[in-house]
Amino acid sequence: MEYASPRSLDEAIGLLSQAGVDARPMAGGTDLLVQLRTGARRPELLVDLKQIPGLCGIDCGSQGFRIGAAVSGAEIGECLPLREAWPGVVEAAELIGSTQIQGRASLGGNLCNASPAADSVPALIAAGAVCTLIGPAGRREVPVDDIVRGPGETALGEAEIIVDFRLPRPQDGTGDAYQRMIPRTEMDIAIVGAGVSVRVAESGECLACRVALGAVAARPIRVDEAAAALMGRRPDSEALEELAARASAAADPIDDKRGTRAYRTRVAGVLARRAAEEALRRAGDRWAARSQSS
């Protein structure tokens, strides 16, 4: 196996398309190097993306945020404006692995590893994140929702890579949150994950809601039926229970070493409800802060 560390997107795409299926892009390597070690993958060429300016850094503009696809979880956690705007996305990114893993793990890698249990993905879907892809055929923008096809399978074309993720500036009354269930407190892969973002009017009426679940299907899923339970009303406990029930109903998980089907189904609802409660609380806090400052 060979390692290359291109300095530009063109160079990276060139290397990847030349080597074809035998090449893999690498960001933090926290999935890839484990797969190498266990023999699950044997690429001929690893193309390190971390030296390419377009995949590094976080920009916080008036329109919104651009997060480089290779930016580490630790850097994301340190970006206060992003945390302020999208606390659910940041908390999901920060849940990935340990402090050591945080030093390397990227959003691009978390998404493209295409695990159904990837923590940042439901949060990004709930927040409405869009990613920029570049490949031999050029550039395109795709919602995060549409990237993962199934375990280990993505919608990326050959030699195509994710360059960055875009999030808007949150509108007034927006709140998001991510919750996951693991048997330990840290260092575990989600048995269930739930990301929710909401936008509420000052009156408390829910104007927009997105719910996404991880580890309960072959890929992270968006559950619009569950979101609909809150829409157009002031979310009371009845509405939240409805959301939970619909989230559970949408779950179609497997039994495996990490959890049973029945457990995952049941807990999907619980976590969707808890994430929604937290997102609503954050949205309410935003209104409160706004009225205080004005």
Partner 1 sequence: MSEKSTEGRPLKWVGTRPVRPDGVEKVTGRARYGADFARPDMLWGHVLRSPHAHARIRRIDVRRALELDGVKAIVTGDDLPEIASEQAFVGEEPTDYRMLSQNVLARGKVGYVGHAVAAVAATTSAVAEEALRLIEVDYEILPHVLDVLSATADDAPLVHDDLCDRKGVKKNPSNIANEIEMGHGDPEAAFTNADVVVDRSFTTQAVHQGYIEPHACLAEAGPDGQVTIWCSSQGQFMVRGYTAKLLGLDLAQVRVVPAEIGGGFGGKTTVYLEPLAVALSQRSGRPVKMVMSREEVFRATGPASATRIRVKIGATKEGQFLAGEAWLDYEAGAFPGSSVAAGSMTIFAPYAFEHARSHGRDILVNKPKSAAYRAPGAPMAAFAVESVVDDLARQLEIDPIDLRLQNAAREGVQSSFGPRYKRIGFVETLQAAQEHPHYDAPLQPNQGRGVAAGMWFNAGLQSSAAVMVNADGSVSVISGNPDIGGSRASLAMMAAEEFGIEYEKVGVRIGDTASVGYNDVTGGSRVTLATGKMVVEASQEVISQLCERAAKVWDVDVKRVHWADGKAKVLDDEAIEPLGLAEIATGAARTGGPIQAIASGSVRGVGMSFGVHLCDVEVDPETGKVDVIRYTAFQDAGRAIHPSYVEGQIQGGAAQGIGWALNEEYVFDDSGRLENSGFLDYRMPVASDLPMIDAVIIEVPNPDHPYGVRGVGEAPIVPPIPAVVNALRAATGVCFSDLPVSPPRVLEALDAVS
Partner 2 sequence: MSKRHVTTTIDGEGREFLCEDWQTLLDVLRDVLMKTGTKEGCGTGDCGACSVLLDGRLVCSCLMLAAEAEGRVIETVEGMAEGDRLHPLQQHFLQEAALQCGICTPGFLVAARALLAQNPDPSEREVRFWLAGNLCRCTGYDKIVRAVLAAAAEMRGAEA
List residues binding ligand FAD (CB under 6 A).
Answer: 24-32, 34, 49, 69-70, 95-97, 101, 104-106, 108-110, 112-113, 118-119, 156, 161-162, 189
Helix axes 261-293, 237-250, angle to 10 degrees: 140
Location of structure tokens 């991880």: 214
Whether residue 155 contacts residue 143, with contact meaning beta carbons closer than 8 Å, is answered with no
Q: Give the whole-angstrom CA distance, residue 21 versus residue 42.
A: 11
Query: Which long-range contacts does 245-250 make (Cβ < 8 Å, 24+ apart)?
Result: 245/269, 247/194, 247/211, 247/213, 247/223, 247/271, 247/272, 247/273, 249/225, 250/213, 250/216, 250/221, 250/223, 250/225, 250/226
Token pair listed for 278: 């937290």
Q: Where are the beta strands (DSSP E) in 41-191?
A: 45-48, 58-60, 64-68, 130-135, 138-143, 148-150, 153-154, 161-168, 174-181
User: How many of the chain's residues bind partner 2 (CB under 8 A)?
Assistant: 27
Q: Which of 91, 50, 73 is nearest to 278 (CA)?
A: 91
Candidates 18, 98, 171, 260: give the one binding partner 2 (CB under 8 A).
98
Find the shortest distance in angstroms from Cβ 138 to partner 2.
29
Partner in contact with 103, chosen from partner 2, ligand FAD, partner 1, none, beta carbon below 5 to 8 Å by kind: partner 2
Question: Near partner 1 by CB under 8 A, which window of 5-13, 16-24, 137-145, 256-264?
Answer: 256-264
Choose between 35 and 154: whose C-beta lies nearer to partner 2.
35
Report if residue 186 touches partner 2, rule: CB under 8 A: yes
Query: What binding mask, one character per residue, do residues 129-168 give for partner 2 by CB under 8 A, x or -?
Result: ----------------------------------------
Choose between 258 and 286: whose C-beta lies nearer to partner 1.
258
Choose between 63 and 260: whose C-beta lies nearer to partner 1.
260
Find the shortest distance in angstroms from Cβ 254 to partner 1.
13
Q: Give the whole-angstrom CA distance, residue 241 versus residue 50.
A: 44
Report if residue 237 touches partner 1, rule: CB under 8 A: no
CA-only gyration radius of the chain, Å? 19
User: Residues, the chain, total?
Assistant: 294
Name residue 149's amino acid: R
Choose between 33 and 142: whose C-beta lies nearer to partner 2.
33
Looking only at Cα atoms, what is the longest distance across the chain?
A: 60
Partner in contact with 262, chosen from ligand FAD, partner 2, partner 1, none, beta carbon below 5 to 8 Å by kind: partner 1
Partner in contact with 108, chosen from partner 2, partner 1, ligand FAD, none, beta carbon below 5 to 8 Å by kind: ligand FAD
Report if residue 218 touches partner 1, rule: CB under 8 A: no
Q: Is the dihedral of CA 8, 9, 10, 13 positive or negative?
A: positive
Report if residue 181 touches partner 1, rule: CB under 8 A: yes
Name residue 247's amino acid: A
Q: Identify residues 15-54 at the interface with partner 1 (CB under 8 A).
A: 38
Binding site for partner 1 (CB under 8 A): 38, 181, 183-189, 191, 256-260, 262-263, 266-267, 270-271
Binding site for partner 2 (CB under 8 A): 1-3, 5, 28-30, 33-34, 36-38, 46, 48, 50, 72, 74, 97-101, 103-104, 185-187
